Structure 1
Amino acid sequence: MFHRYASLMKGLALPIILLGIAEVWAIAVHTDSYTLAPPSRILVAGLRAFSDGSMMTATWQTLGSVLTGFALGGLIGVSLGLIFGLQRPMDQLAELPVEVFRAMPSIALLPVWMVIYGLGYKMEVAVITFSTIWPNMVMTRAAVRGVTPRLLEVSRVLGLSFGQQIWKVVLPAVFPGVFVALRLTLGFSLVIGITVEIVANPQGLGSAIMLAREAMDPGLMLAILVWTGVIGVSFNIAMNLLKKHVFQRLLSQGTPA
């Protein structure tokens, strides 16, 4: 236990030192900035935003869009990756359309999504979903192609159905690659969601950042940015816990199709 706390304190040492330097510098300079604020002012602004409920309201709006888009993009992308990885003819047929859509910048397509869905929740979810399908699909397809063909041959000899082959042979083999894809795209979903809210969607943390900037409140603006970073770290911790306690247990148990 002591070693755990000692390791934690070592990890916190550099951030604490940097915060102290920033605070001392801000006090020594005695200047008002419309873009920067000392850590104490950021903390006060963040606490004020939490106390009046505005921070949590914006957080739930962002999380609703981000998690929905991530789930849809992950489901579609992983499914397509499994199909294209196992069915080479379909993969060859879809290769050109996939490469074309994958190369399209998701933010550049904002006008298209705005025409289809208007402003709001649906538009943001559509952008996040479109953005996360392709990395999930590409990494899953690559993981499936890395499965030893002999494993599939043995599963057929044992009389496993196609669904059982997927669940008991393919998924355990490709799980590390798929998990990396999901973990990366979850953080990517947050980035895309915040960007969409800054550019075009008047809700969530991204919109709150722009409102704080327009109000010339750098303390609040930076407090929201710090809180966004905390959310990103929390996503990473949550995904690791899911991997350890849920995904691997499900895959180790397996179920007949």
Structure 2
Amino acid sequence: MPPPVFRFAPSPNGYLHLGHAYSALLNFDAARRSGGRLLLRIEDIDLTRCRAEFEAAVYEDLGWLGIAWEPPVRRQSEQLADYREALDRLSAQGLVYPSFESRAEIAKGVAEREAKAPWPRDPDGAPLYPGSARLLAPGQRARLLAQGAPSALRLDMAAASARTGALGWVEHGAGPDGEAGVVAARPEAWGDVILARKETPTSYHLSVVLDDALQGVTEVVRGEDLFWSTSVHRLLQQLLGLPAPVYRHHRLVRDRAGRKLSKSTMATGLRELRSQGATPADVRRLVGLP
């Protein structure tokens, strides 16, 4: 049996903090214990926020922690052709459609609906997309595309779920509901998720699923805030004929007020802690690792 493959996949849109250190160390420790491999992926598809200095800091901070990874590093900004091909495959199945409303227009439409009755929200608390663009006549859709109207490509969730049927994933951790073992996926809870935008040719959901498959990742160890996103990932894996890793969602490192750490929270930033004389052993202690 080949060794397990783990990955750590930060976005270079800020400096790493204790939460990142916890996740990276969990992956590193698990790879060492199992005789597995640890890969590093740079999730830099957001070209407006990701910066070269933050990417350089990722390598520096991980090296300081004593974390080693197997080269090469996969940078998402260099893999856009892979994501385009996956989108084309989903489009060929009739599962993708363009939506043309701005965020403000969608928010206004949702607010009008909520004034009459409760409107469904996704597991993160955001209102579901009403699906208005799915009902556009083909001719009207073609005219908007020909005019170069700003658009986002969305997954037709109802059609996609009907194609795959019931799905689940193997969970070795414990998510927000304390679930472990085989967890039933609920992709419909996310509505018609965005798979790409005109200015960003892929989404987190699409790129992470494809990257994990192309890198041969067998064990996904990540924060519990992504627990229910796995429902969408399992759906995309099934639609694209990709293997499903085993998942382990871990607790989040929080600040004293119980909030999820942010890259803007300098007090928990690894660079800030290092400048104050902290050692890698101190970081392990702060995040509750031996």
TM over 0.5: no
Q: Which is strand-richer, 1 or 2?
A: 2
TM-score, length-scaled by structure 2: 0.22
TM-score, length-scaled by structure 1: 0.25
Greater relative contact order (Cα 8 A, min sep 6): structure 1 or 2? 1
